[in-house]
Amino acid sequence: MGRPRAFDEDETVRAAARLFADRGFEGTSVDDLVTGLGVHRNSLYKVFGSKRGLYLAALRRHLDEEVLPGAAALTAAGGLGRALAQAAAAFDGGPAAGLLLLAAAERAPHDPEVAALVEEGLTALEAGLAHHPEAGPELAPALAATVLGLRLRRSGDGPARLAALSRRLAPTS
Angle formed at CA 171 by CA 165 and CA 173, multiple of 5 degrees = 135
Q: What is the pLDDT of residue 54?
A: 98
Q: What is the pLDDT of residue 18?
A: 92
Q: What is the pLDDT of residue 88?
A: 72
Residue type for 29, please? S
Q: How far is 102 from 91, CA to CA, in rounded Å?
A: 11
How many CB atoms lie under 10 A from the CB of residue 49? 12
Per the CB < 8 A criterion, the answer to whether 51 and 34 are in contact is: no
Q: Nearest CA to 36 among 52, 49, 21?
A: 21
Q: What is the pLDDT of residue 132?
A: 84
Q: What is the pTM of this model?
A: 0.82
Per-residue pLDDT of the chain (173 residues; tens, 9 = 90+): 455 556 799 999 999 999 999 899 999 999 999 999 999 999 999 999 999 999 999 999 999 988 888 888 877 767 777 777 777 766 665 666 678 888 999 999 999 999 999 999 999 989 988 988 888 888 889 888 888 877 777 656 666 676 676 667 655 54
Q: What is the pLDDT of residue 9?
A: 94
> What is the domain partition of the chain in residue ranges?
9-168
Q: What is the pLDDT of residue 162?
A: 66
Per-residue CA distances from 132 to 43, 71, 119, 139 (Å): 45, 11, 20, 10
How many CB atoms lie under 10 A from the CB of residue 121? 24
The class that CATH gives domain 9-168 is mainly alpha
Chain-centroid distance of CA 138 in Å reads 24
